[in-house]
Structure 1
């Protein structure tokens, strides 16, 4: 019997083997090729190649051709595939019946020739514009700004607010619910913070922005001044041959008129690429604050209330410019220079009303303020880049300089009245001059190469030196100085850094391990009105910042992927937080920096799952110590806003992003997040802070294709109660709508956009301060309608696209 059974099993095995002959599965197949032009065989860099399975027509992966036009799909399973090759200005090419099996494990297509589509630009432009709104990479999320209609004719602040997981509230930028984001422009740090940074972003038109890179855990090459990650704003720079450019003009109306205009120009011939842009923004706005301070004491007779009504109207006119060139000295070496800057006068008129109540109205203070605050900046970048003979080996050296000035002059006049409008002899005047100047110098080098076992090595050095100085000059009346308030301050900082990063791609795993070392030395010194210095504050510390990224592919086509990241970050106090000078809104409300602030240190974890690049589900965790927060405290009857360190905070979040093609004419891009935040620690006047809250946040946009060339969009944002430091922020939402029409063979678009159409973007904040409870309601000119005309002109797609100039730091359009 055993012999019979053995024979039967042997026959079944032989039969099975026979049936599977020729069907041996492989998982390491390769399809490669090179994309060139039909006319002269020039390589086309940046062409999009999409691979699909012919069995079910499902999308598998997409890559771009490199500088030589080459591309390669690796680790393919046995099967039959098709390729779609497309590039702006060229006709699309489809190649099918590409068979991968054990007999034929690879397919080399040699040259794939693309034909110019000069007579069919309409079709080409539409297809080229079908870029997804977001793209997920191992260490960042890419947001393609132009894919959202509501990003037309607005500033960089609105572009950030429209991005998934990003919020700009109360001059603070948060990413996935965490404040302390560092902003880069074209791979280069802005060195601005707080109000200065937000004002700069308000002057940067969306027409100059190509995309955003959201990096909750930034790679080791970036110098990060924050604890919530990094956002890199990449501006437009065209590498297409010949002369080309774009013009964007926007006129809008909210409560006041608004306008912004931008012009981008590019000329590339041979080894030289010239580029530049100019932008003008005029923004009239208002800022209305209703604040109430309720003070409670053991003796109810001592209780009192201060009601404050503030109304500020302001106008900022900004002219920005950028000029630069890239020059190829030979096939492997290039140099470049960029000069950019801005001139931005700002005027503000404020009317502030304070009413004191002890059961009944006690007295009223009326304050008028006139503020002139012109800012100017100029930045210079010079780079050298060389590619060695060894594939993937290159070095880049950057030298940067920034000069920034902010000259504030404020005239403050207060009068006190009784409830019956009788004026008391208690007039108060204050004239404040706060000139500020910053000079920042940076020198860095970045080196890349391939080492043993195909490991990519990146390493670099960076040195940053900055000197910043400001004066607080106060007069009670013209010619009568207030020596008790007048002083000056200087702050110098020198940061030296080195980093190394290793990247390895395996069959299913991808690893990136980075380590950054920084030595920081700084000195803050304050002088009194006579120029006599107070004791200087010296800080010197060394820090190591480890970075780890791991990606695991559940299938060889990378349809389903897990991503994990970890890093350690430091948030050094910004200059405005360290500046000890007082800025007075009125005699009972002021802002003052804290020269004793310590750096904040945080650890961050992130784990996510991505399906087909359209669905991402993840969780993130952040824990910080010496957390820097904005803090209000009462000094007599005056409310003072300052910065301080508290013991710790943490943020735990669950988030998801999804792009859903509901119908052929309707696509939705959605983001949702649930998070828990805690801020805890001792504060001023023996106060103990313990703020803990759960928050739900959702945002999304719905895009509708109405007919050929006509499209519409509805987008929105909603957030429940949350906390940032001392304050609780009540729920808020907004809704935006847009309608766009393409004209002139798709070379121009007209967009009509409505922002915050229900005027619901109102900041409502609650703060507990010792014996006081402070509530604030803040409204500004967020509801507006804009009409934007964008026109693109010049040659398109007739030459090889060359990125031999600025790579991670190409071009800039702003203070950096």
Structure 2
């Protein structure tokens, strides 16, 4: 069982203010008695800008390493990046969203030299021109402009040890000749994702406990090919292709179950085993064609994209319940395929005027079809482990659900941006979206055939506004407001039941509707080093997973069923105040990124019925509030004058907080790394979760006596060793990175 949990980030260092008089966050370089200063970190109208070229941490790093050192960014698993206070971070390159799946993107970032980067922009509240959902933020990587022809690339190998061993390798190459640019990557790996679980739930004196392990082996291979051709001095044509394949065979769930129930005035304990096996594979292929033309010397341009996305997942599971002596009691096999086809198109027109005024207009169209043909077969056994005779019913009992979902999205936006003076600038815009969807479900369950149609049509006007005021050279104030919506992922809409144990399962929901999010953010920055961010987010009809329980009777004895239902669950407010600092100290021997703050959550949701099946459970209420303390710190220490040895010390702590499933207990992690740069080689060793404190625990107690407890250890303590070799002409101009029209859809396949 995979539990989605929002985990914030991270800790350390009180040395900053002691060094304030010695050094500001400007880099000073003396050239022939002329002193030049350049700001490393600053706030613009709608984004934070980190000037990598003026920072001491870029040399010898990968792009991923550099992003971990960027203010407001952090990672808890060395795979995904988070913006403080945001659910998700989307990666853009040169203003275009990367057309890669998550695994390919991680490999790309870990194999791109940081020296190729000019600056990093962190957009905490994206404007109307960006196709983002909910409270997502954007990380925009601006590459240096390198004009020389030639070939360059790098090769990387890494090995990681936690409970199991994992290995990966990648090869990247860039080619530039006159008007033609080609960029390609091939990467692959093999690993086993381990997890251990303790699951407890109950109603009164009827309780369940399941303890055991989940092992998920994975083999994957993928890559991308980007071709960019300069048609004229002002126009470019680009084609990009991305592909990724994953095979996860013999994934296992092994749980020992303890059931306590009343009988004849006493409590009786019985034990069973859950032994599940799953084979799954998925394929993700997308192609994107882009045309861009520059209209004038001010930066006006027109951009058009067309994209096709094909996603396939095939999953077959064998779910077994056995008695304590390992004699089979029940077996349920599930065949759960999913096929997604999407065509998308976008157009953007940006007109810049001489009076620092910019108008942007554009639109997008998406059409998607998903096909999910799920089949369940239930086998019942007698006390001797033999198949029961269920005449006249068949054995196995057969159920199926064929769910087809069609969706069309039409969108248009307009933004106006104006720099009124050197001190004041503003931006206002709006996005209008029309969504038409139709889901049809043909099902057969318990001998009864049924047909359902779920049709939804809704329109949304999503306004946006921001302003930035530079009070003086040392003080800056900015404000942003945006309205966004979050559409459910396609797997959330597929009405399939995933079985964990005999009395524990997850249920998806075709009736989930889009949720709305309203974000406000006020930022104050001092000396381009210290900042205060006040944030408020209101989510209406949030999409989440809700634990519902009920008593039922089997063989004359009471039992408890627990179902994790995917649905819209009330409203949620998040308020946070975050203090941060980005500063180089001790003559740039220490580079510090530090954030500390508080977050206050207000939950308001009630549910007692599974919307998919109509089954009624005990009422689950989450109307609780919680305040939590969050500290994050990412620090790089240079160990020698030649800038070849570096030590990394990263730490995060997040206090306990109320989430949808209950009270999430406090989490923390200490990560250490050491790196050596030697000519074209980079050697690195990383130790993650040194203290093994990054373990998830969630506990919930309802007023009616129902309780639920989850402990999930993902074995985040690990040691990784990597070797990277860079070759060729390092001044090669990078291929123009293109935002695929299907990117917003691709994010919903995961």
TM-score (norm 2): 0.82
The Cα of 1:688 is off from its aligned counterpart by 2.8
Name the counterpart of 1:677: 601
Say whether 1:291 aligns with 2:199: yes
Name the counterpart of 2:451: 534
Name the counterpart of 1:611: 526
The Cα of 1:561 is off from its aligned counterpart by 1.4
Report if the CA contact (8 A) 2:90-2:138 is conserved.
yes
Say whether 1:431 aligns with 2:333: yes
The Cα of 1:161 is off from its aligned counterpart by 12
The change in CA–CA distance for 1:679 and 1:168 in structure 2 (over 3 A counts) is farther
Where in structure 2 are the equivalents of 1:510-521 lying within 5 Å? 510-521=425-436
Question: Out of 250, 266, 284, which is 1:377 matched to?
Answer: 284
Report if the CA contact (8 A) 1:500-1:515 is conserved.
yes
The Cα of 1:482 is off from its aligned counterpart by 5.7
Report if the CA contact (8 A) 1:528-1:534 is conserved.
yes
Partners in 2 of 1:382 and 1:245 — Cα distance? 24
Name the counterpart of 1:768: 701
Aligned to 2:111, the other structure's residue is in SS state: helix
Partners in 2 of 1:602 and 1:728 — Cα distance? 23
Aligned to 1:228, the other structure's residue is in SS state: coil
The Cα of 1:752 is off from its aligned counterpart by 1.1
Partners in 2 of 1:529 and 1:208 — Cα distance? 51
* Matched length: 676
Name the counterpart of 1:650: 573
Partners in 2 of 1:608 and 1:139 — Cα distance? 10
Name the counterpart of 2:686: 753
Report if the CA contact (8 A) 2:372-2:404 is conserved.
yes
Partners in 2 of 1:143 and 1:790 — Cα distance? 25
Aligned to 1:687, the other structure's residue is in SS state: strand
Name the counterpart of 1:219: 127
| Residues 421-472 of structure 1, C-alpha deviations (whole Å, 9 max, x = no match) | 5x77x61011111000111211001111124733111111110111112121
Partners in 2 of 1:415 and 1:802 — Cα distance? 58
Say whether 1:735 aligns with 2:666: no
Say whether 1:273 aligns with 2:181: yes
Name the counterpart of 2:13: none
Partners in 1 of 2:35 and 2:213 — Cα distance? 69
Aligned to 1:565, the other structure's residue is in SS state: strand
Question: Out of 664, 667, 690, which is 2:623 matched to?
Answer: 690
Question: Out of 401, 405, 408, which is 1:487 matched to?
Answer: 401
Partners in 1 of 2:362 and 2:519 — Cα distance? 23
Aligned to 2:335, the other structure's residue is in SS state: strand
Partners in 2 of 1:213 and 1:246 — Cα distance? 25
Name the counterpart of 2:391: none
Partners in 1 of 2:90 and 2:397 — Cα distance? 38
Report if the CA contact (8 A) 1:550-1:565 is conserved.
yes
Question: Out of 296, 315, 318, which is 1:408 matched to?
Answer: 315
Name the counterpart of 1:353: 256
Question: Out of 27, 34, 56, which is 1:96 matched to?
Answer: 34
Deviates more, 1:248-257 or 1:682-691: 682-691
Report if the CA contact (8 A) 2:96-2:738 is conserved.
no
| Residues 125-147 of structure 1, C-alpha deviations (whole Å, 9 max, x = no match) | xxxxx996x76443234679998
Highest CA radius of gyration, 1 or 2?
1
Report if the CA contact (8 A) 1:373-1:409 is conserved.
yes
Name the counterpart of 1:23: none
The Cα of 1:771 is off from its aligned counterpart by 3.5
Report if the CA contact (8 A) 2:179-2:230 is conserved.
yes
The change in CA–CA distance for 1:247 and 1:718 in structure 2 (over 3 A counts) is same
The Cα of 1:533 is off from its aligned counterpart by 5.9
Aligned to 1:374, the other structure's residue is in SS state: strand
The change in CA–CA distance for 1:653 and 1:596 in structure 2 (over 3 A counts) is same
Report if the CA contact (8 A) 1:174-1:228 is conserved.
no
The change in CA–CA distance for 1:634 and 1:451 in structure 2 (over 3 A counts) is same
The Cα of 1:753 is off from its aligned counterpart by 1.0
Say whether 1:718 aligns with 2:653: yes
Question: Out of 272, 284, 290, which is 1:365 matched to?
Answer: 272
Say whether 1:564 aligns with 2:455: no
Partners in 2 of 1:643 and 1:454 — Cα distance? 47
Where in structure 2 are the equivalents of 1:656-675 lying within 5 Å? 656-664=579-587, 665-675=589-599
Say whether 1:501 aligns with 2:425: no
The change in CA–CA distance for 1:705 and 1:188 in structure 2 (over 3 A counts) is closer
Report if the CA contact (8 A) 2:99-2:242 is conserved.
no
Aligned to 1:392, the other structure's residue is in SS state: coil
| Residues 49-106 of structure 1, C-alpha deviations (whole Å, 9 max, x = no match) | xxxxxxx9997989xxxxxxxxxxxxxxxxxxx988xxxxxxxx778389xxxxxxxx
Say whether 1:543 aligns with 2:447: no
Partners in 1 of 2:684 and 2:303 — Cα distance? 40
Report if the CA contact (8 A) 1:488-1:529 is conserved.
no
Partners in 2 of 1:198 and 1:641 — Cα distance? 26
CA RMSD of aligned residues (A): 3.8
The change in CA–CA distance for 1:791 and 1:471 in structure 2 (over 3 A counts) is same
The change in CA–CA distance for 1:306 and 1:237 in structure 2 (over 3 A counts) is farther
Where in structure 2 are the equivalents of 1:139-158 lying within 5 Å? 139-141=46-48
Where in structure 2 are the equivalents of 1:83-482 lying within 5 Å? 96=34, 136-141=43-48, 164=72, 175-179=83-87, 181=88, 183=90, 186=93, 206-207=110-111, 214-225=122-133, 227-232=134-139, 241=148, 242-296=150-204, 303-347=205-249, 348-358=251-261, 362-389=269-296, 391-417=298-324, 427-451=329-353, 453-476=355-378
The change in CA–CA distance for 1:257 and 1:498 in structure 2 (over 3 A counts) is same
Question: Out of 783, 791, 796, which is 2:725 matched to?
Answer: 791
Partners in 1 of 2:239 and 2:701 — Cα distance? 51
Partners in 2 of 1:815 and 1:131 — Cα distance? 37
TM-score (norm 1): 0.75
Partners in 2 of 1:235 and 1:583 — Cα distance? 42
Question: Out of 523, 526, 532, which is 2:438 matched to?
Answer: 523
The Cα of 1:595 is off from its aligned counterpart by 1.9
Aligned to 2:512, the other structure's residue is in SS state: coil
| Residues 354-408 of structure 1, C-alpha deviations (whole Å, 9 max, x = no match) | 1012475521111211111111111111100111245322101011111111111
Partners in 2 of 1:444 and 1:549 — Cα distance? 24
Report if the CA contact (8 A) 2:61-2:113 is conserved.
no
Report if the CA contact (8 A) 1:153-1:249 is conserved.
no
Aligned to 1:576, the other structure's residue is in SS state: helix
The change in CA–CA distance for 1:657 and 1:811 in structure 2 (over 3 A counts) is farther
Partners in 2 of 1:796 and 1:152 — Cα distance? 14
Report if the CA contact (8 A) 1:205-1:260 is conserved.
no
Q: Where does the alignment leave 5 or more consecutive residues of structure 1 unmatched?
A: 1-55, 63-81, 85-92, 99-129, 297-302
Question: Out of 632, 649, 660, which is 2:547 matched to?
Answer: 632
The Cα of 1:236 is off from its aligned counterpart by 8.4
The change in CA–CA distance for 1:264 and 1:436 in structure 2 (over 3 A counts) is same
Partners in 2 of 1:511 and 1:759 — Cα distance? 46
Aligned to 2:690, the other structure's residue is in SS state: coil
Name the counterpart of 2:4: none
| Residues 284-322 of structure 1, C-alpha deviations (whole Å, 9 max, x = no match) | 2211001111321xxxxxx12211113011211111111
Say whether 1:578 aligns with 2:493: yes
Partners in 2 of 1:754 and 1:599 — Cα distance? 40
Q: Which has the higher contact order (CA 8 A, sep 6+)?
A: 2
The Cα of 1:603 is off from its aligned counterpart by 1.4
Aligned to 1:675, the other structure's residue is in SS state: strand
The Cα of 1:735 is off from its aligned counterpart by 0.4
